[in-house]
């Protein structure tokens, strides 16, 4: 069941869900708007022949209040807000429609596991043929929370737990679990 504004306000007041900092205008009927931070990562394309899932990627770190994403370009960003969700709640992040209509695709790999805490790293792609100027502090996406049928026995404790700022891919740390044989 997706949480309503009334439930979100109550859970934030009780601190069972943390969205910090938060302003009252960010709470929408069935979501909370999140704002763009000022920390960005861009893959250092000039040092790579190709991307690999098996090794750490080099990133160029950028900290500024305004950034321009060139046409057909990819950039990692972060939310201003630090999020903490309990073991009986999950969430997903969606781009704001008004921004999507300008050609900016916003993703965070789609899902926020129960028990997660940290800033949300956003994957931004400018699908437009024009550069897109973004300003930190602007509402960029929305997080939608939902109750699970019961609390998970294994809250998220993965490689992105507690992340602050923009965090690049850590897929090189994955251990694939394959059946023997």
Q: In the prediction, which pLDDT does 180 show?
A: 52
Domain-embedded: residue 170: no
Average pLDDT of span 134-159: 96
Residue 174 within any structural domain of the chain: no
State yes or no: pLDDT of 175 exceeds 80: no
Q: Is residue 168 a part of any domain in this protein? A: no
Residue-wise pLDDT tens digits, 21-30 = 999 999 999 9
Q: Say if residues 69 and 126 touch (Cβ distance below 8 Å).
A: yes
At 179, the pLDDT band (50, 70, 90 cuts) reads very low
Maximal CA-CA distance, the chain: 55
Q: Which whole number is the average pLDDT over 56-83? A: 96
CATH number, position 112: 2.70.40.10
Does residue 68 register a pLDDT over 70?
yes
Structurally, the chain folds into a number of domains equal to 1
Residue 143 lies in a domain: yes
Choose among 168, 85, 167, 163: nearest CA to 119: 163
Domain span holding position 149: 5-161
Q: Over 70: is that where the pLDDT of 64 sits?
A: yes
Please indicate whether residue 123 is annotated as part of the active site.
yes
Confidence of residue 109 (pLDDT cuts 50, 70, 90): low
**The pLDDT of residue 144 is above 80:** yes
Is position 173 within any domain? Answer: no
Give yes or no for a contact between 146 and 1, defined as CB atoms under 8 angstroms apart: yes
Structural domain includes residue 111: yes
DSSP of 91-144, one letter per residue?
EEEEE-HHHHTTTEEEESSS-B-TT-EEEEEEEEEE-SSS-EEEETTSEEEEEE
- In the set 6, 56, 63, 123, the catalytic residue is 123
Does residue 178 belong to any structural domain of this protein? no
Q: Tell me if 127 is assigned to some domain.
A: yes
Alpha-carbon distance 21 to 165, whole Å?
A: 14
């Amino acid at each position: 069941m997706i949480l309503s504004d009334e439930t979100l306000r109550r859970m934030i007041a009780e601190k069972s869900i943390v969205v910090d900092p938060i302003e009252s205008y960010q709470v929408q009927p069935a979501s909370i708007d999140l704002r763009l931070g000022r920390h960005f990562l861009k893959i250092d394309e000039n040092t790579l022949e190709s991307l690999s899932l098996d090794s750490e990627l080099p990133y160029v770190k950028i900290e500024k209040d305004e950034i321009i994403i060139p046409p057909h370009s990819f950039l990692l960003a972060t939310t201003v807000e630090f999020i903490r969700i309990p073991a009986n709640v999950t969430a997903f992040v969606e781009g704001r429609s008004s921004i999507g209509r300008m050609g900016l695709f916003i993703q965070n790999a789609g899902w926020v596991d129960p028990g997660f805490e940290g800033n949300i790293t956003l994957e931004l792609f400018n699908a437009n043929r024009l550069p897109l100027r973004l300003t930190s502090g602007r509402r960029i996406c929305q997080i939608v929370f939902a109750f699970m049928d019961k609390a998970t026995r294994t809250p998220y404790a993965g490689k992105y737990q507690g992340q602050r700022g923009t965090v690049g891919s850590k897929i090189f740390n994955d251990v694939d679990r394959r059946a023997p044989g």
